[in-house]
Amino acid sequence: MIDKKNLWFLTLFSLVLVLSIYYVTMPNELLVTNNGNVDTTSNNNEEENISVSITESDVISALKVEDENDTLEEINTLKETLTNTEESVDKKNEAYDKIKELNEKSGKEETLENMLKEKYKYDAFVKIDGDQVRVVLGTKDHSTELANEIMRLVQEQFDNKMYISVQFQA
């Protein structure tokens, strides 16, 4: 017989499973966030005029767009594996774990970019690749002290030792 503990466990587990599958199969349009300033006005609920102002440097913007495109391409490939009925369960599990890892990594990168922007008032691009972190700042000020502070700040966000490089771009 199933006791209350097991029943609660199965109920919560199935809820988590359904929500995670829903999240993985959601359309990309719902997951995309906009980091620019957006002004929306609607005319009789028929048309919307959206104006976006971008203040980041061209190099930082190009790096962000390229990284986002690569990530979305990889996620779409993995989603195809998930929805393919001929794939094995192991491959589907690996694809799901990889999507989860990519989403966590993207979230960590965005968090670090926002921290750097808040603390140092510079636009930043952060790329995490295994144990390496690449930080590109949109400033002409080349300062070893600033680079060391950024390295310490980024390292504080990780439990294990990371190899951090800081690059300055105008």
Domain ranges of the chain: 55-169
As a whole number, mean pLDDT of residues 45-62 equals: 62
Q: Domain 55-169 - what CATH class?
A: mainly alpha
pLDDT in tens, 81-104: 888 888 889 999 999 999 999 999
Give the pLDDT confidence score for residue 101 in this predicted structure: 92
Question: If DSSP codes are grouped into helix, strand and coil, which group holds residue 44?
Answer: coil
Is residue 116 a contact partner of residue 150, using CB atoms and an 8 Å limit? yes
- What does the block give as tokens for 34? 């906009």
Question: If DSSP codes are grouped into helix, strand and coil, which group holds residue 73?
Answer: helix
| Predicted TM-score of the model (pTM) | 0.62
- What does the block give as tokens for 91? 């491959």
Give the pLDDT confidence score for residue 1 in this predicted structure: 65
